[in-house]
Amino acid sequence: MRVLTAERMREIERAAIEGYGLSGLVLMERAALKLTEAVWEALAGTPAPRVLVVCGAGNNGGDGYACARMLRQSGARVQLLPLCPAEKLPPDAQRNAQICRKMGIPELGLEAFSRDYDAIVDGIFGTGLSRAPAGDYARAIEAVNRQAERGARVVSVDIPSGIDGTTGRALGAAVRADATVTFQWAKRGHFLYPGALHTGRLRVADIGIPDPAAGFLPEDAEVLDGAAVRALLPSRPRDAHKNDFGHALLVAGSRGMAGAAVLAATACMRGGAGLLTVLCPERSVLPQVQAAAPVAMCLPLPEGAAGEVRDEASLYASALVGKSAVGVGPGLSRAPERAAAVRAVLGSALAAVVDADGLFHLAEHLAWLSRGAQTVLTPHPGEMARLLRRKVEDPVRDAADFAREHGCTVLLKGALTVIAAPDGRLTFNCVGTSGMATAGSGDALTGLVLSLLAQGMSGYDAARAAAYLHAEAGLRAEEALGNASMNAWDLAQRIRL
C-alpha cells in the first residue's frame, strides 16, 4: 500500500483536474459512492437507518452531500447538518448541496445532536486541516464523539476531522471514527499516532485519479503485507547447505544481561541464518547462550572477576573473518570500554546492525557511520533522541533525515515502526501488538535483522522484512498467551519465515 503526505495528495488531485481535465464533479460522485458503501457496511443491515451527514466547508463536505443523496435513494432516513452556507462552498460541493435541497433532505443545526442516530458521516474537514477546529466546527466534532459513545457508527470522509493528514496529530477536538474512507492512496495521518487510533478501519477507495509521477517519489511511504514481505526473502533451494544462508556474528551480552544475547541469537537462527557465532563474555554470558541457544557457536571474550570485558582488537579481527554480517548491542552494557566493540564492528566491511547499548556508544561517535557497507540502526524513540541529541519531534521526518545524512537505514521502533533508507525510501510497519512492549523484544528484532543481512538482503529490505516478521511473531505470542502475559522469549520462539 502506498502512503502519501497530505500535500502530495493535493498536488496529484490538482494535476488530475487541471492537467488531465478530469471532472471534479465526477471524482466527487465516485468518492461518494465508495463512502455510501462503507456507511451501509458499518450499519450491518440496520433497516431504514437514521443517518446524520455533517458537511464542512470544503470538498469533503461535497462528498458528504453526494453521499446523503445516495443514502436517501437506498433507503436510509437521512438528515444533513451543514456547517457552511451553500453559497460559500466550492462549486462541485455547492452543486451537490443544491441537489440535496431539491430532494427535500432535511437540514438541521447543532440541535440535531439532541437526537440519536444509527450512523454519522463525518465530512467536516479533510486532510488539509492545519489548525485547531473552533466554533461550531469544534462543537460538531465533540457532538459526533458523544453520538459514538451512545452507539452511533461514525464513518469519516478521507480522514477523521481534526487529525493532521501528514503528521497524524490531533490539532484539537478530533473525531473518533469506526471507519474511514480515503481516496486513491492512504495518507500518513492514518498510520501515525494518535491519528491511527482515530481512523478505525481504513478503506482506500480507487476513484480513478491517475498518478502524474508514475510511481513512488522519495516522500511517499509503503506499507507491506505478508505476501510482499515474503517476496523479499531469499530463496532456499532444495539442494542448499548451511553456508548458502550466511554466517552471522553477534556481539552481545554482559554480566546480568545474558538474556539479551540469548534472545538475539534465538531470533537470528529462527530467521534462517545458516550459521551464527556469538562473541560474548566467557563466564557470565557464554554458558547461558550455549545452554539456551545450542545451535549457536560461541567465541569467548576475556572477562575479569568483576565482569569487566577486555575488548581486544585481535579478537574482533579474527572473529569477523569469514562472516556475512555482524550485529552488536543487545545487553552489551554501557561501560565506556565496550565502545570498542561498536568501533570494531563498524570498522569492518560487513553489513551491520546496531541496537541497544551499541546505539548508546554510537551516539558519541557518529563518524563511525561513514563506512562503505550496509548499516541498520534499530532505535526506540529514546535511543533515537540520543542519536539526534534532541527529542524526536516527527518520527518520519527525523528517521528519514538521519538516514540520509549518515548513509544508513533507520528502523525507528514504536506502535508504528518507521523504516527509512539512505536514499529516501520509507516503509511503515503498522502490524503488531502492545504485548510486544516488553523487555527483550528489541533484542529479538536485532537478531532477525542480523539473520536477513547475513543471507544477503540489503539493509533496507532486511529492516522492513524483519519489522513485519517480528510483529507477526508478536501477534502469534499474543494469541497463545494473551497481551499482558506474552514476553520476548515467546515472541522469538514464534518467528516464522
pLDDT on residue 54: 98
289 and 159 both lie in a single domain = no
Instruction: Check residue 310 and give its pLDDT.
Output: 80
Residues 133 and 15 in one domain: yes
pTM of the model: 0.92
Shared domain for 10 and 145, answered yes or no, is yes
**CATH number of the domain where residue 190 is located:** 3.40.50.10260
Q: In whole angstroms, what is the distance from residue 486 CA to residue 464 CA?
A: 23
- Asked which of 176, 197, 219 is the last residue of a domain, the reply is 219
End position of a domain, from candidates 219, 236, 269: 219
Q: Integer distance in angstroms from the first to the last C-alpha of the chain?
A: 21
Half-sphere exposure of 238 (CA within 13 A, CB side): 0
Instruction: Check whether residue 231 and residue 208 sit in a common domain.
Output: no
- Grid cell, residue 66, equals 453526494
One pLDDT digit (tens) per residue for the chain, 497 residues: 999 999 999 999 999 999 889 999 999 999 999 999 999 999 998 999 999 999 999 999 999 999 999 999 999 999 999 999 999 999 999 999 999 999 999 999 999 999 999 999 999 999 989 899 999 999 999 999 999 999 999 999 999 999 999 999 999 999 999 999 999 999 999 999 999 999 999 999 999 998 876 667 777 899 999 999 999 999 999 999 998 899 999 999 999 999 999 999 999 999 999 999 999 999 999 999 999 999 999 999 998 887 788 888 889 999 999 999 999 999 999 999 999 999 999 999 999 999 999 999 999 999 999 999 999 999 999 999 999 999 999 999 999 999 999 999 999 999 999 999 999 999 999 999 999 999 999 999 999 999 999 999 999 999 999 999 999 999 999 999 999 999 999 999 999 99
DSSP helix, strand, coil percent of the chain (3-state; round to 5) = 45, 15, 40
DSSP 262: H
Supply the CATH number for residue 336's domain: 3.40.1190.20
Query: CB within 8 A of 422, min separation 6: which ones?
Result: 403, 404, 406, 407, 408, 409
Going by their DSSP bridges, the two strands 275-281 and 247-251 should be labelled as parallel
* 109: its cell numbers: 443545526
Are both 209 and 253 inside the same structural domain? no
Same-domain pairing of 193 and 236: no
Question: Residue 309 carries which DSSP code?
Answer: B
Distance CA 469, CA 225 (A): 10
* Residue 333 sits in the same domain as residue 456: yes
8 A C-beta contact, residue 278 and residue 265: yes
DSSP H or E run through 467: helix 459-481
* CB-CB neighbours of 58 under 10 Å: 21
H or E segment at 187?
strand 186-187
Query: Which amino acid is residue 143, in one-letter code?
Result: A
Rounded to whole angstroms, the Cα distance separating 160 from 171 reads 11
DSSP track, 21-47:
---HHHHHHHHHHHHHHHHHHHHTT-S
Q: Are residues 19 and 129 in the same domain?
A: yes
* Domain finish residue from 186, 219, 252: 219
Shared domain check, 409 and 295: yes
Same domain, 338 and 206: no
The H or E element spanning position 230 is helix 226-232
CA–CA distance, 390 with 363 (Å, rounded to integer): 12
Domain membership of residue 112 as a residue range:
2-219
For residues 326 and 214, state if they share a domain. no
Same domain, 125 and 60: yes
Task: Write b or e for each residue in 410-443: b if 16 or more Cβ atoms lie within 10 A of its Cβ, otherwise e.
Answer: bbbbbbbbbbbbbeebbbbbbbbbebbebebbbb
Number of structural domains found in the chain: 2
